[in-house]
Amino acid sequence: MSRVTIAQVAKHCSVAKSTVSKVLNQTEGFNVRPEVRDRILAAARQLNYRPDGIARNLRMSNVRMVMVVGYNIHWATAHGIYEGLLASAIDTLRKHDVRVYMDMNQSDQQQDEWSAAMMHGALVLPGRNLQVRQFMQQMNVPYVTINDQPYFENESCVCVDDYQGAVDATEHLISLGHRRIVYKDHIHQKHDQETQDKKHYSIPDRRRGYVDAMRKHGLDPLPGYDQNVQVDEFLDQYILGQRATATVVWENTQAVQLLRLCEKAGIDVPKDLNMVCFNEINYDSIPSDFMTVVDLPTQEMGHQVSEMLLKQMDNPGKYEGQKLVLPETLRIRQSTAVLTAKKAVTAGSIR
């Protein structure tokens, strides 16, 4: 028989989960009408609700607990961002005697199981993000979002300047003599572009940075910068089909795919095509000094999010939301070079 949850008690009483949690956990300073409190306690007895004993003991101890929320092992390691970021964040918290735990749950239906029981604070990663943040707003749990924009007025977050990163990458290629520069956009999982753009701020910001940089220098953005296409189609239609000499790629995994397709097609990088991407590339098959990248300050992001969270935990109810935007760094390597007089590679030239 499955264990009764706070959500079931709340539904039985027609009240919010946060109200049930605070009544059952005897949250200090929380006031509720006596009849509501009695109804919740009676429902808990009737439904045989049993709190997680281990979590309760942890919460009641003097040890402060922080949960990393929204971690998904399938995407967290894909872009080479979050492992170093989280290592820095955890190191900072542990220096302040804070225990850090990872929430690997991917279902919003079970939020009450961990949050009400043991968290003193949380670091929230992108992903199943908004629902978690709404829940912690209700629970008055201090939290800081990582690599995301604030949604609520009083939220704190640490993010990066993806717009300027795209400007820097595009202007670097322009300075090398390239004029036919095409941008490889994020591959959307759905065809609803507006929904996807809201999912992570880097998608519209990087695209806009490319467009603005091109127009600033009197150049027209090449078609394809806002298209939801796979890498092979992008190479054929928007690089080769438009005789592009350079490309800026939204992130590193797509850049690796593109690089391998170029190798297979006999396209030399950088002689035939220059390439810049966001995020460092950590592949054994690709030399570390090869790809020009827009590098995110992951170590600093991790340190800053933990410092923000510690201040919130030390000043409950008195800390105002803060947004910290960190600059990105263009690391120039072998995949970009001065444009030569050589004719641009085309689809016909490799067939």
d(Cα 115, Cα 121) in Å, to the nearest integer?
9
Q: Which of 26, 51, 76 is the last residue of a domain?
A: 51
Within a domain: 256 = yes
Give the pLDDT of residue 195.
44
Tokens read off for 57: 């003991």
Q: Which residues of 313-330 are buried (b: 16+ CB within 10 A; e: fewer)?
A: beeeeebeebebebebeb
Give the pLDDT of residue 45.
81
Within a domain: 37 = yes
CB 88, CB 303: distance < 8 Å: yes
Highest mean pLDDT (candidates 56-70, 91-105, 122-136, 318-332): 318-332
Give the pLDDT of residue 78.
58
In this structure, are 217 and 339 located in the same domain? Answer: yes
Give the pLDDT of residue 52.
57
Within a domain: 171 = yes
d(Cα 271, Cα 160) in Å, to the nearest integer?
31
Q: What is the pLDDT of residues 170-204, one digit of tens each?
A: 999 999 999 999 999 998 765 444 444 456 889 99
- Report how far apart, in Å, the C-alpha atoms of 33 and of each of 39, 44, 47, 192 are: 10, 17, 21, 45
In this structure, are 339 and 211 located in the same domain? Answer: yes
In this structure, are 199 and 339 located in the same domain? Answer: yes
- Report how far apart, in Å, the C-alpha atoms of 229 and of each of 188, 199, 240, 346 are: 8, 18, 15, 19
- Report how far apart, in Å, the C-alpha atoms of 67 and of each of 64, 100, 156, 172 are: 10, 6, 16, 40
Domain that holds residue 37: 1-51
In this structure, are 190 and 336 located in the same domain? Answer: yes
Highest mean pLDDT (candidates 53-67, 102-116, 175-189): 175-189
Within a domain: 314 = no
In this structure, are 170 and 40 located in the same domain? Answer: no
Give the pLDDT of residue 193.
43
Mean pLDDT across the chain: 84
Output the pTM of the full model: 0.78
Within a domain: 258 = yes
Is residue 109's pLDDT more than 60?
Answer: no
In this structure, are 216 and 340 located in the same domain? Answer: yes
Mean pLDDT of 293-302: 96
In this structure, are 340 and 217 located in the same domain? Answer: yes
- Binned at pLDDT 50, 70 and 90, residue 74 comes out as low
Give the pLDDT of residue 129.
63
Least confident of 111-115, 217-221, 291-295: 111-115
Q: What is the pLDDT of residues 218-236, one digit of tens each?
A: 999 999 999 989 999 999 9
CATH number at residue 10: 1.10.260.40
Within a domain: 8 = yes
Tokens read off for 56: 């309760």
Mean pLDDT of 14-26: 81
d(Cα 132, Cα 20) in Å, to the nearest integer?
17
Give the pLDDT of residue 71.
75
- Binned at pLDDT 50, 70 and 90, residue 30 comes out as confident
CATH number at residue 276: 3.40.50.2300
In this structure, are 44 and 170 located in the same domain? Answer: no
Place of tokens 């150049």: 219
Within a domain: 311 = no
Within a domain: 153 = no
Number of domains in the chain: 2
Higher-pLDDT residue of 62 and 307 is: 307
Q: What is the pLDDT of residues 263-293, one digit of tens each?
A: 999 999 999 999 999 999 887 778 889 999 9
Q: Which of 36, 51, 66 is the last residue of a domain?
A: 51
